Amino acid sequence: MVRTRRLWTGLFLSLPLTIYIVIVVAPLLVSFYYSLTDWNGFNPEYSFVGAENFLKIGRDPQFFGAIRNTVVWMVAAIFLPSLGGLAIALALNGRGFAGNIYKSLFFLPICLSLVVIGQVWIWMYHPDWGLVNTVLSGLGLDGLRQAWLANPQTALWSVIIAWSWQQMGLAMVIFLAGLTSVPKELTEAAEIDGANYWQSLRRVVIPLLGPATVVVIALAIINSLKSFDIVYVMTQGGPFHSSDTLAMFMYNESFKKYYMGYGSAIAVVLFLISLVLISFYFRQVRIMNEVYD
């Protein structure tokens, strides 16, 4: 019995783990190796420089800028699309046909590639004929007109908003899913007890959305650590690194400056950060499970 169970375990795990190790893990180890060298990506030869690349990280202000931006991105990713998605989900939940039409409109951006979304938002932010500035002028707020992507104060947030625009639909779907698991008896009971909408929302609905929130936040963290495509299309990390994320920074160092060794070191640090976050995430999830079991 135990034998057959072990046999099946081995049988089930062998193929997925082999592929995973060969394609996902082993190349990462190779990068770890590169991070100890001064390879430029072109030359067949390179030398071993030990921890030099990691020491360089410690004194590179651009690295800390990228860390700061990634943290901003992560915090924004946890709140902006999630709260927006939650609000829409609450507003549209159970509204029948009309609600479904609105839902699909909010779904739509998920289907578009980030390349397309980046391009559209470049148009949205165009200083002369972009919709954002046009609307501001229409509202008589000419003073707020900006070159949104060219201003280092606004570039990062402009990209984050474009990204959140897409991610909001995803958060909405997950919260809608969460809402279907809220038993209507509970909200009805609250209603009978004389609770108003907000009270019932806060005391009954929101707590029951906990599991959905865990999923939304996990996706937000993963996506913010990997945020690359839309930055690449919209700003390439600019103007002058003001919208660099860690992934973008690593790419620029490796493929534009040809510091492959240094870029690999950045990736190692990025991976270590994510390991910390994963263990934190799993601890949270375990606590949640204990609460809900």
Considering only residues 121 to 140 of the shown chain, the ones binding another protein according to CB under 8 A are 121, 123-124, 126-127, 129, 131, 134
- Contact pick of 75, 79, 83, 152 for another protein (by CB under 8 A): 152
144 sits near another protein (criterion: CB under 8 A): no
String of contacts with another protein for each residue 48-87, x by CB under 8 A? ----------------------------------------
Q: Which range in 36-44, 73-81, 136-144 contacts another protein by CB under 8 A?
A: 36-44
CA atoms within 13 A on the CB side of 83: 6
CB of 228 to another protein, least distance (A): 6
**Could you give the string, one character per residue 222-251, with x where binding to another protein holds by CB under 8 A and - elsewhere?**
x--xx-x----x--x-xxxx----xx--xx
Tokens of 247: 């992934």
Q: Give least dist CB 140 to another protein, A.
A: 18
Question: According to DSSP H, which parts of the chain are helical?
Answer: 2-20, 26-34, 52-58, 61-92, 96-111, 114-124, 131-138, 155-180, 184-192, 197-200, 206-208, 210-225, 229-234, 246-251, 260-292
105 vs 141, which CB is nearer to another protein? 105
Out of 86, 119, 167, 194, name the contact with another protein by CB under 8 A.
Answer: 119
Quote the DSSP letter at residue 182.
S
Return the residue of 180, 193, 202, 280 that touches another protein, per CB under 8 A.
Answer: 180
Bridge partners of residue 178, in order along the sequence: none
Pick between residue 72 and residue 120 the one whose CB is nearest to another protein: 120
Locus of tokens 């893990």: 25
Pair 20, 247: CB distance under 8 Å: no
The residue type of 196 is N
Query: Is there binding between residue 280 and another protein (CB under 8 A)?
Result: no
Does position 203 interact with another protein (CB under 8 A)? The reply is: no
Asked if residue 97 binds another protein (CB under 8 A), the reply is: no
- Considering only the stretches 29-37, 75-83, 136-144, report the one whose residues sit in contact with another protein under the rule CB under 8 A: 29-37
Q: Which is nearer to another protein, 72 or 122 (CB)?
A: 122
CA neighbor of 202 nearest in space, from 187, 188, 214: 187
Which of 131, 136 has the CB closer to another protein? 131
3 binds another protein (CB under 8 A): no
User: Which three-class secondary structure state does DSSP give residue 127?
Assistant: coil
User: 3, 24, 139, 192: which one contacts another protein (CB under 8 A)?
Assistant: 24
CA distance 212 to 207: 10
Of the pair 82, 254, the CB lying nearest another protein is at 254
Q: Alpha-carbon distance 221 to 270, whole Å?
A: 13
- Helix, strand, coil distribution of the chain in percent, nearest 5: 75, 0, 25
Q: Are 245 and 237 in contact (CB under 8 A)?
A: yes
Which long-range contacts does 145-149 make (Cβ < 8 Å, 24+ apart)? Answer: 149/122, 149/125, 149/234, 149/235, 149/239
**CB-wise, 104 or 142, nearer to another protein?**
104
